[in-house]
Structure 1
Amino acid sequence: MSRMHNPPHPGEILAEWLSETTLVDAAERLGVTRPALSRVVNGRASVSAEMDIRLSKALGTTPGFWLSMQAQYDIWHAEREFKEHVEPIYKIA
């Protein structure tokens, strides 16, 4: 799988999907609080597995779609911030 250069936080994409409704209405339909949804939409919180399922059911996306986007975002940023040296681990035959 090719990785996207500087992928957007899934909240940015979600904001576009929800542009026709209010956060209050979307949160009610998802069964979450407005602050919880707002944190995701504004990139201050990650998409959890539970939120991924809620979004997939409400928006018609496949389970794992939002979580995969979150993983791509997290890995891209982690690779740029990780500075430690890690020793290889070899399998003993």
Structure 2
Amino acid sequence: MADGTPRLYLVYLDADATPRPAPELAELAPGLYLVRTARSRSQVYHALKRRFAPRRLLVAPLDGDPKFKGVRPGALAWLRATGDRDA
């Protein structure tokens, strides 16, 4: 976002491209991630596209914290630790 406020994005990145663990990134399942960053959707999309050259890529902003079940352990703790809202 232009004002520097961190925003939450849902990212799908094909399984051939696997990002290294990073504080702003949480893997929910193979290829499915949450990203909290002050970057715009376009900046996140193009950074991932350049770095991993994926066959499939989706970057979608989320208005609030998502609900989920059956994802990698620690995802909810990451969401709570990086956000201002209750999950």
Bigger helix fraction:
1
Answer whether TM exceeds 0.5 for this pair: no
Whose radius of gyration is greater, 1 or 2? Answer: 1
**TM-score of the two chains, using structure 2 as the length reference:** 0.30
**TM-score of the two chains, using structure 1 as the length reference:** 0.29
Bigger strand fraction:
2
